[in-house]
């Protein structure tokens, strides 16, 4: 007896359904992908890479023999790093943008490559003419790392270190940015005619020894509206240039307004400055 056509169709559909379910099985990645978005200065650095593990192997002269060979600096796909602003890398300029991060490891020296080609996964596809920046970096001894790791450490106001870590080594790459100039340039464009914004900008300029621009901003702030904050900052500019008598007078104005506002912090700070500067009247300030 022949099977009915609809029965054959049902069997076929059931078979396809089983295969569809099987196709959806998800397994863990042997080399999991990672994405790091690291805030730095006034922008972000974004890093995408895959993380292979040793699993009993060793790097370099062991059974992971990468020495003197092009490496995509990870597994599976190309490693990419995207800088949101212009930087210097180990002292060399690198414009903002997205780059392939590749390496040629060596026992005593690594070649670290930033390439405009973000999709290179093998030596056969690597073209040195696509390099934007090439560095020579000495690896350092480091506590054993099972899974390949790229991280950001050693932060300061204008620098950080990107480290490549695996097995018993660390390859440090120093990244720096002229954060101060970025802040001051942006301030010049964006600060507008707001007393508090001008005061904040002037205080930042004072802390970074950019006195000409900062003095302009604090004078503009005071001209718009005198308050204990901008007078406090103005008094510090006057003291910085050695005008201690004027600095004391301005600090006394700030002190009185701070008392009216019951702001104990500015009361205390002004009192300390007045005492210090009063003893320096008539003396030349060493800038």
Q: Which of these three, 156, 176, 196, is where a domain ends?
A: 176
Look at the block and give the residue holding tokens 């700030």.
Answer: 254
Q: Which of these three, 114, 145, 176, is where a domain ends?
A: 176
Q: Are residues 115 and 169 in the same domain?
A: yes
Say if CB 10 and CB 17 are below 8 A apart. Answer: no
* 149-158 confidence digits (pLDDT tens): 999 999 987 8
Say if CB 94 and CB 87 are below 8 A apart. Answer: yes
Least trusted range by pLDDT, from 42-46, 49-53, 90-94? 42-46
Q: Between 23 and 221, whose confidence is greater?
A: 221
Q: Are residues 167 and 192 in the same domain?
A: no
* DSSP element (H, E) containing 249: helix 244-261
Say if CB 227 and CB 202 are below 8 A apart. Answer: no
What is the domain range of residue 97?
33-176
Which residues does 266 contact at the CB level (< 8 Å), separation at least 6?
Answer: 228, 229, 232, 254, 255, 258
Domain count, the chain: 2
pLDDT at 4: 54
Global confidence as pTM: 0.72
pLDDT band at 208 (very low <50, low <70, confident <90, very high): confident
Q: Are residues 228 and 135 in the same domain?
A: no
* Of 111, 106, 110, 102, the residue nearest 130 (C-alpha): 102
Q: Are residues 42 and 159 in the same domain?
A: yes
pLDDT at 23: 54
DSSP letters, 258-281, are HHHHT-HHHHHHHHHHHHHHHTTT
Rounded distance between C-alpha atoms, residue 47 and residue 99, angstroms: 10
Say if CB 157 and CB 130 are below 8 A apart. Answer: no
Q: Which of these three, 140, 158, 176, is where a domain ends?
A: 176
* Of 156, 155, 154, 150, the residue nearest 171 (C-alpha): 150
User: Once rounded to an integer, what is the mean pLDDT over residues 26-55?
Assistant: 88
Q: Are residues 152 and 224 in the same domain?
A: no
User: Once rounded to an integer, what is the mean pLDDT over residues 252-257?
Assistant: 96
User: Once rounded to an integer, what is the mean pLDDT over residues 215-233?
Assistant: 94
In a domain, 18, yes or no: no
Tokens encoding 275: 């005492």
């Amino acid at each position: 007896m022949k099977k009915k056509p609809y029965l054959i169709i049902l069997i076929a559909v059931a078979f396809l359904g089983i295969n569809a379910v099987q196709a959806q099985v998800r397994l863990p990645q042997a080399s999991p992908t990672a994405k790091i978005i690291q805030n730095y200065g006034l922008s972000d650095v974004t890093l995408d890479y895959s993380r292979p593990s040793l699993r009993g192997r060793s790097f370099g002269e062991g059974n992971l023999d990468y020495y003197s060979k092009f490496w995509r600096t990870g597994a599976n796909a190309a490693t990419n790093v995207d800088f949101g602003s212009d930087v210097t890398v180990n002292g060399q300029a690198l414009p903002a943008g997205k780059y392939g991060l590749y390496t040629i490891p060596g026992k005593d020296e690594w070649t670290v490559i930033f390439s405009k080609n973000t999709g290179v996964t093998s030596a056969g596809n690597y073209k040195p003419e696509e390099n934007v920046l090439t560095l020579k970096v000495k690896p350092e001894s480091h506590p054993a790392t099972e899974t390949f790791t790229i991280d950001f450490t050693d932060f300061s106001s204008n620098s950080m270190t990107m480290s490549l870590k695996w097995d018993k080594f660390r390859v440090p790459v120093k990244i720096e940015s002229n954060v101060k100039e970025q802040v001051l340039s942006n301030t010049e464009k964006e600060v507008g005619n707001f007393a508090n914004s001008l005061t904040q900008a002037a205080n930042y300029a004072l802390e970074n020894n950019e006195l000409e621009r900062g003095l302009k901003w604090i004078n503009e702030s005071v001209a718009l509206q005198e308050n204990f904050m901008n007078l406090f900052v103005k008094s510090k500019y006057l003291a910085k240039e050695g005008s201690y008598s004027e600095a004391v007078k301005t600090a006394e104005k700030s002190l009185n307004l701070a008392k009216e506002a019951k702001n104990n912090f500015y009361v205390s700070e002004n009192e300390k400055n007045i005492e210090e500067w009063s003893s320096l009247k008539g003396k030349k300030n060493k800038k």
